[in-house]
A and B are shown apart, each in its own frame.
Chain A
Amino acid sequence: MRVYLESNFLLLGSETIESIDFELPEVSLKELLAALSRRSADSLEFLRNDGTDLSLDWDIEVNGRSFGLCDGGLEAILNDGDTVTIKLALLGGG
């Protein structure tokens, strides 16, 4: 299955990566985030509280809706062709 990715930063160090494929019939949002974390050079850390919550530093949507509105939240099952949007929540600015 293929999950499309959108972000306002270089998610996997490249502007050209627009999707991620899985050799599985289905994956949860949490599994997607774990896969992204493994593939990122900076070991991105999306979850907190032993993986039960999203870290405050990310804003994540599935098909344009906050992940919290999806059935199961972080455990929500993604479908082939779904789009996951990941944005940074920043602590600092100019």
Chain B
Amino acid sequence: MSLFDFFFPKKPASASIAKERLQIVLAHERADRDRPDFLPRLQKELLAVVTKYVAVEEDMIRVSLGKAGNASVLEINVEVPHTAITGPARAVPA
């Protein structure tokens, strides 16, 4: 590295920044595109059922559809806070 380069570092070309940003945003959008539209509804209904028994927030339930080999995998993750189980029992609406 010459002394000149040291004092005047080259900025990365804006075209390569553009490419990188596009690749990231499009990867997300393409994943969303293939999502069946019942997933948000499923997530809402699951949340309604789970909150009857444990206090969970909306963002603690994640529903996703993935692929494993030839099969599609419906993955449901429910994050249960420690206090929701050990804490005082909540009134459960009938």
Asked if A pairs with B, the answer is no
Chain A residues packing against B (C-beta within 8 Å): none
Interface residues of B (CB under 8 A from A): none
